[in-house]
Amino acid sequence: MPQSNFRSQLHKRLIETDRRALVELADAGRISGNNLTKKHRPVVRDWEGVKPTFGYKVTVNPTFVRVTVFARGAGRQKYRWVDLGTKPHLIEAVFKSWLTFQGGYSAKTAPGAKYNQGTGGRTGNWAKKKIVAHPGTEARKFSETFNEEEMPVLRRNTQNALRRAVRRKG
């Protein structure tokens, strides 16, 4: 009988340690989620018009901790286009008879998560066309760059979280 009692106590202790580990790992993920959203905000601070906000989701399971940062709100699609880039595509006048635009643009951002680099201004002549062949947009890779910067922090925090979960007495 003592062996059965030992097994049940060990089983309870393992379950409690597992529960504590999940809580600690979720906290580590929230820290990285907050860090990453703070890094994204300055990118869009000076944007004209609609700006996205940023949120995050933490997923914890026995094999990984995942922190997913996403743009939300009315400006989320614009952010995706800038962050991930676009392929060359045609733009056609739909709501009006003509597309009217000014050429010669200096982007505020550059690849490698460099923002506030250019003026964001237009300097070229005005054009009026029914259809335009857009050359595409080079990906700025904000998310990729910020994730690479945050990864060592998340690794360190998850290791410390596991240590705390195992050491703490229930």
CA distance 108 to 12: 57
Helix axes 2-44, 142-167, angle to 10 degrees: 150
Domains in the chain, number? 1
- In this structure, what token pair is assigned to residue 51? 């700006």
Summarize the confidence of residues 71-88 as an average pLDDT.
94
Per-residue pLDDT at 116 exceeds 50: yes
> What mean pLDDT value characterizes the chain?
86
Q: Which residue has the tokens 């990118």?
A: 43
Chain segment 9-55, per-residue pLDDT in tens:
777 777 777 888 899 999 999 999 999 999 999 988 888 889 999 99
- In this structure, what token pair is assigned to residue 97? 């008879």
Summarize the confidence of residues 94-114 as an average pLDDT.
78
Which domain, by its residues, includes 35? 2-167
**By the 8 A CB rule, do 29 and 58 touch?**
yes
**By the 8 A CB rule, do 108 and 116 touch?**
yes
Question: What are the DSSP calls for 3-65, one per residue?
Answer: HHHHHHHHHHHHHHHHHHHHHHHHHHHHHHHHHHHHHHHHHHTT-SS---EEEEEEEEETTEE
Weakest-pLDDT range from 21-35, 64-78, 89-103 = 89-103
Chain segment 122-134, per-residue pLDDT in tens:
777 888 899 999 8
